[in-house]
DNA sequence: AAAGCTCCTATTTTT
DNA sequence: TAGGAGCTTT
């Protein structure tokens, strides 16, 4: 993504990184020259780095130097003559992609003995499955019959399109309630990603929707047709179309031959479709290395398939070699003991136990507090105390199951003026004003997009759904949709405002359109509409758009901007607020999902309470509970020195004041039974004492916090 | 046909 | 909280 994002992401990962084990990166360590390459790798890591062309599965436990090993392998391959342009490096998440690119780049830089001013050879084919898929599809669009300038729908867009199809099919007004658009898309997406037929998905995942089997099938057919008519691909299409492209033997051979090596990180989080892509790309597994840890599989809800990693070796004849990394360089033994105990209760897993020779230290703590307010206060106290003890804020992280669980803590941090950056759960792209502005750009880029056009047209006062539909129908029918837009006759009441829009659109559709000046033009056009539609908080929303413009300036073209923003949206709040000052220190807040692959000296996990971990929504199926267990395991294994699990005895489930605050008295998570709890140091009042203190009024304080915060706006 | 209302509901995690 | 659906008014 743009400069702002990479600066923030860089800042967020650099500090912890500097403290990692990485023998190869030890201060003063000369760069791996040929004979002594990676002499400091442990034997298992060394075996991975020097493995040949045969298919390889690396089972790498948390903190075992996985990324270092992968990056070293990349460096070794290049040293041995591999062309960096012919290395395909795939990951599931954006963060892992960035991390892999950065570490491999640094390693290459060292390995080639380059000076600081020289840059390492780029690894152009490193990225997420979705991003690489998008690039390949654009490159091969002509060959595979896709429109060259296709738009990529983010999840919101895809839902809206599904919603329109749903209405067009008359499913919005059924007697018994038809699944909502989001649910429809979830079902569709599950079918695509798990490569399972609709009836199986309905039976296993959405039994309450099974009666709508026929209607859903028709709906999905319409949805797919609409996407094609609008020259749009959704996230799933990026994988699906890629897989379909590879189903053609000659294309598969052509693409497979483009890459000498293919390394896949986070393999435990890939789904059946992604596995199919890899099989088609490298049918005999030659040059293929996959890395993962079944104990850290936490994306089952996105159809990630643990079987991918469990079944990988047997796909090949002879079976792929399996190398296991078990030596942990990250955490203290006490933290590992507790983590191992949590995951040991898991039903099915690739057996391994992490170990370290780091000297034993304090046990992780299980901290009982009365409620969320007390939790926030305890965490803030602890963070400040640690900082007094010499630990920077950046070396500390607070992790939580769902994004809003940090709300109380964020207020407390703001009150005490403790800076923080929050990862995950950010809905920047979902804000109405951001969507509006992007819709204009997207429409200009792809005039066939009814989604974008509809949204933009409705912004003009006097244009409603009926006129908008007439406009878009006319554009659909025209060979030159841009001309049809200019020719459209709006209702008289809208004439003035409509002219402004057509002027803007014709400027944006100039062949020599100047980017990023485009976005200024759009902002200029949109600002009055924004003020009209969002009087109350117009200033703040305009600020968001300024931020968007800054991101835009970092991209070479409009198309790249739209693609990058859709596939790699700003993910931390600091991205919105602009890059943090270089020397500024801040605490890390993150969802556990977004924390995967990261590490910090001190980690605090909020709400380790039944109903939260596991989430009460997830307690339906055994498989979901298992995934929640792995989630806790992932959270715990992020910690290097200190780990605190917070147990608020009372925490409220919803912020709906209308129905009154609902509270849960869950108690300690079921994942910490007494035997496991014994591995922790207990902090805080006993359960009895805490329960008596629960009668205190707690809810009202929130507004005070908000006022205090707004005083600094 | 558009705009301005009043309910209503749905709230995991990510590409 | 906020966005959406559905109703009523202009």
Residue A153, classified by CB atoms within 10 Å of its CB into exposed (0-12), middle (13-18) or buried (19+), is: buried
Q: What is the CA radius of gyration of chain A?
A: 26
Quick check: bond before A711 cis, omega within 30? no
Closest nt by CA–C1' to A618:
B12
Ramachandran assignment for A509, one of left (phi > 0), alpha (psi -120 to 50 degrees), beta (any other): alpha
* Residues A127, A17: Cα–Cα separation, whole Å: 20
- Tell me which of A491 and A168 has the higher pLDDT: A491
Q: What is the pLDDT of residue A54?
A: 96
State the average pLDDT for chain A: 81
Let me know: does A219 contact A184? Beta carbons within 8 Å.
yes
Confidence of residue A551 (pLDDT cuts 50, 70, 90): confident
User: Residue A670 CA to nucleotide B10 C1', Å?
Assistant: 27
Q: What is the pLDDT of residue A535?
A: 76
What is the DSSP secondary structure assignment for residue A263, as one 8-state letter? E
Closest nt by CA–C1' to A432:
C3
pLDDT digits (tens, 9 = 90+) for A224-241: 998 999 999 999 999 999
* Residues A485, A453: Cα–Cα separation, whole Å: 10
C-beta within 7 A of nucleic chain C, residues 152-181 of A: 160, 163, 172-173, 181
Whole-prediction pTM value? 0.84
Please determine, for residue A708, whether its predicted confidence score (pLDDT) is greater than 90. no
C-beta within 7 A of nucleic chain C, residues 426-445 of A: 430-432
Ramachandran assignment for A112, one of left (phi > 0), alpha (psi -120 to 50 degrees), beta (any other): alpha
Let me know: does A126 contact A100? Beta carbons within 8 Å.
yes
Let me know: does A523 contact A530? Beta carbons within 8 Å.
no
* Residues A532, A411: Cα–Cα separation, whole Å: 30
Confidence of residue A253 (pLDDT cuts 50, 70, 90): very high
C-beta within 7 A of nucleic chain B, residues 180-199 of A: 180, 182
Confidence of residue A171 (pLDDT cuts 50, 70, 90): confident
User: Residue A464 CA to nucleotide C10 C1', Å?
Assistant: 14
Pick the closest to residue A293 from A319, A263, A269 (CA basis). Answer: A269
Q: How far is CA A35 from CA A38, A39, A623, in A?
A: 9, 9, 48
SS3 A288: strand
Pick the closest to residue A288 from A311, A254, A264, A268 (CA basis). Answer: A264
Pick the closest to residue A593 from A423, A360, A422 (CA basis). Answer: A423
* Residues A475, A452: Cα–Cα separation, whole Å: 13
The mean pLDDT of A182-200, rounded to a whole number, is 88
CB crowding A520-549: b at 16 or more within 10 Å, else e: ebbbebbeebbeeeeeeeeeebbebbebbb
Q: Where are the alpha helices (DSSP H) in A169-281?
A: 181-194, 198-205, 213-229, 235-247, 249-258, 272-281
User: Residue A698 CA to nucleotide C8 C1', Å?
Assistant: 41
- On strand B, nucleotides with any atom < 7 Å from a protein CB are 1-3, 9-15
C-beta within 7 A of nucleic chain B, residues 587-646 of A: 591, 593-594, 615, 617-618, 624
A487's CB contacts (< 8 A; 6+ apart) are A474
The mean pLDDT of A193-219, rounded to a whole number, is 84
Q: What is the pLDDT of residue A26?
A: 34
* Residues A98, A319: Cα–Cα separation, whole Å: 31
* Residues A250, A255: Cα–Cα separation, whole Å: 9
């Amino acid at each position: 993504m743009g400069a702002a994002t990479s600066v923030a992401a860089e800042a967020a990962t650099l500090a912890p990184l500097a403290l990692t084990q990485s023998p190869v990166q030890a201060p003063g360590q000369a760069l791996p020259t040929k004979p002594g390459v990676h002499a400091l790798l442990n034997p298992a890591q060394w075996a991975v780095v020097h493995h040949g062309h045969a298919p390889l599965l690396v089972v790498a436990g948390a903190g075992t130097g996985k990324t270092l090993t992968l990056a070293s392998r990349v460096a070794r391959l290049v040293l041995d003559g591999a062309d960096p342009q012919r290395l395909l490096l795939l990951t599931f998440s954006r963060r892992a992609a960035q991390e892999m690119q950065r570490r491999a780049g640094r390693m290459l830089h060292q390995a080639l003995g380059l000076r600081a001013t020289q840059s390492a050879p780029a690894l152009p084919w490193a990225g997420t499955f979705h991003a690489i898929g998008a690039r390949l599809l654009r490159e091969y669009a002509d060959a595979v019959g896709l429109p060259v300038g296709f738009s990529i729908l983010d999840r919101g867009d895809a839902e809206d399109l599904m919603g329109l199809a749903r209405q067009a099919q008359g499913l919005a007004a059924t007697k018994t309630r038809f699944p909502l658009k989001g649910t429809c898309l979830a079902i569709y997406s599950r079918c695509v990603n798990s490569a399972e037929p609709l009836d199986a998905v309905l039976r296993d995942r959405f039994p309450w929707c099974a009666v709508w089997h026929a209607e859903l099938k028709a709906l999905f057919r319409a949805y797919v047709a609409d996407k094609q008519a609008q020259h749009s691909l959704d996230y799933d299409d990026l994988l699906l179309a890629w897989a379909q492209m590879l189903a053609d033997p000659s294309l598969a051979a052509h693409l497979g031959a483009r890459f000498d090596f293919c390394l896949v990180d986070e393999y435990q989080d890939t789904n059946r479709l992604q596995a199919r892509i890899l099989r088609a790309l490298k049918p005999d597994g030659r040059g293929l290395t996959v890395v993962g840890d079944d104990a850290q599989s936490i994306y089952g809800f996105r159809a990630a398939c643990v079987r991918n990693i469990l079944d990988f070796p047997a796909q090949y004849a002879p079976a792929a070699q399996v190398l296991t990394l078990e030596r942990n360089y990250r955490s203290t033994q006490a933290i590992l003991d507790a983590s191992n105990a949590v995951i040991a209760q898991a039903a099915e897993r690739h057996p391994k136990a992490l170990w370290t020779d780091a000297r034993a230290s304090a046990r992780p703590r299980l901290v009982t507090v009365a409620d969320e307010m007390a939790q926030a206060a305890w965490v803030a106290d602890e963070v400040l105390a640690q900082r007094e003890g010499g630990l920077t804020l950046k070396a500390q992280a607070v992790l939580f199951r769902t994004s809003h669980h940090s709300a109380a803590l964020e207020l407390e941090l703001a009150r005490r003026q403790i800076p923080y950056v929050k990862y995950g759960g950010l809905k920047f792209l979902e804000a109405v004003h951001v969507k509006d502005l992007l819709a204009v750009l997207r429409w200009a880029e792809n005039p066939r997009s009814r989604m974008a056009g509809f949204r933009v047209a409705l912004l003009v006062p006097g244009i409603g759904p009926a006129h908008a539909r007439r406009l878009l129908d006319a554009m659909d029918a025209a060979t030159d949709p841009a001309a049809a837009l200019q020719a459209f006759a709006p209702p008289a009441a809208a004439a003035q405002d409509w002219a402004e829009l057509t002027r803007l659109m014709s400027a944006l559709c100039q062949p020599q359109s100047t980017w990023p000046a485009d976005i200024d033009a759009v902002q200029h056009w949109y600002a009055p509409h924004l003020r009209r539609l969002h009087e109350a908080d117009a200033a703040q929303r305009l600020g968001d758009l300024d931020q968007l413009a800054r991101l835009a300036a970092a991209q070479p073209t409009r198309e790249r901007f739209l693609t990058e923003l859709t596939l790699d949206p700003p993910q931390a709040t600091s991205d919105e607020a602009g890059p943090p000052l270089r020397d500024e220190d801040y605490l890390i807040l993150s969802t556990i999902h977004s924390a995967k692959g990261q590490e910090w000296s001190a980690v605090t996990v909020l709400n380790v309470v039944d109903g939260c971990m596991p989430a009460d929504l997830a307690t339906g199926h055994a498989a979901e509970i298992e995934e929640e267990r792995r989630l806790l395991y992932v959270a715990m294994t992020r910690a290097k020195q200190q780990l605190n699990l917070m147990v608020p005895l009372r925490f409220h489930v919803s912020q709906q004041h209308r129905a009154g605050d609902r509270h849960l008295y869950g108690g300690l998570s079921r994942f910490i039974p007494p035997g496991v709890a014994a591995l922790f140091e207990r902090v805080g009042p006993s359960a009895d004492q805490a329960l008596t203190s629960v009668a205190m009024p707690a809810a009202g304080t929130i507004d005070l916090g908000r006022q205090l915060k707004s005083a600094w706006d």
